[in-house]
A = this chain, B = another copy of it.
Amino acid sequence: MRNILRKIKPLNYLLLAFPAAALGSLLHASPIFNFVVACLGLIPLAGLIGESTEELAFYTGPKIGGLLNATLGNAAELIITIVAIKAGLLDLVKASITGSIIGNLLLVLGFSVLLGGLKHGTQRFSRVHAATNATMLVLAVIALTVPSLFNHTLTGAQLPTRTTEAISLGVAGVMIVLYVLGLLFSLRAARPAPSALVVDLPAEQPQWSMRTALIVLAVTTAAVVWLSEVLVSAVDAVMAASGLSEFFLGIILIPIIGNVAEHLVAVQMAMKNKVELSLEIALGSSLQIALFVAPVLVFISLAFGNYLNLMFNQFELVALVAAVIVAALVSSDGETNWLEGAELIAVYIILGVAFFFLP
């Protein structure tokens, strides 16, 4: 993701949304205005957090750098969801976990494969490597969906709250252990890394000093925290005004905001005929959210007293399972073409259509 803002200059202009949000907040502008500028402002900031993390990684060496990437790679999403948990918007948080995963697997991967395939025809890559990542992803999603499938019993009843809490905490614990094991495995393995948890983008020279990187990281993080609060506090008013559900905002809008930067980098890689890197970004980001962000949020939510469980609703389950099956199939045969990209995007649109019409 490095150099993203320098390469994709237009994103920089979105930073202007930040003073607009500050102004809007001071002048008590309409919540719709605040929501829109907060969304726009978060897009480049999410990219900047990623960039400063990668700059830092140059100075910390590959091991700690890998760890930094692995934990801060989805920092913007982590911050937005923590703020939303604090505000009690638990359905929004769970929907945005699902939305991030399906967005990465269907939209990020879909546009990469589509545009890469249109430019380069059939693109080939190591089947074994991609199959390993697909296996991990399927495992992660099984871990994420099993508790929910248990919860919705087929007779329509639901498990008691205490049971779902206990199961969620237990599962979250197992997932974090698995995530740490996956990191160990990646960091120990000889290059090329056989796990997408540590994405291995082409090495370049650092562009910032360590000091600059640390300052950018601190400032952007603070800005993301503040914009997240603006965004979250406007959610109720936006739902009332637009008729969109908390679920739709969570599963479609929030994840798109958090992933625009990853999106652009993945597509760029595919258009440079490095579709394997696009796959790593899309699968790696999904893995991080499933195995790290989601369970961490379960534990963090305990601190706020707004208990977040891992019981997804059936629409989220269907979307997760569909996205993982499709992404695993596309990535496991060792080659992609533009039609597969169109198919991935088609599945996303079908899910989006259905989500839009849900009451």
Contacts and interface: CB of A to CB of B under 8 A. Distances in A.
Given A146-B322, A322-B142, A342-B178, A353 B135 contact: no
A147 B358 CA distance: 11
A60 B139 CA distance: 43
Nearest to A341: B181
A302 to B, nearest CB: 17
A210 interface: no
A329 interface: yes
B156 A343 contact: no
Nearest to A142: B322
A134 B177 contact: no
Contact of A333 (B128, B146, B342): B128
A138 B318 CA distance: 14
Contacts of A139: 326, 329, 343, 346-347
Given A170-B353, A194-B337, A314-B149, A329 B135 contact: yes
Given A160-B359, A326-B138, A350 B174 contact: yes
Contacts of A181: 339, 342
Nearest to A322: B142
A126 to B, nearest CB: 11
A136 interface: yes
A335 interface: yes
A354 B174 contact: no
Given A329-B135, A333-B131, A171 B354 contact: yes
Contact of A330 (B135, B328, B353): B135
Contacts of A218: none
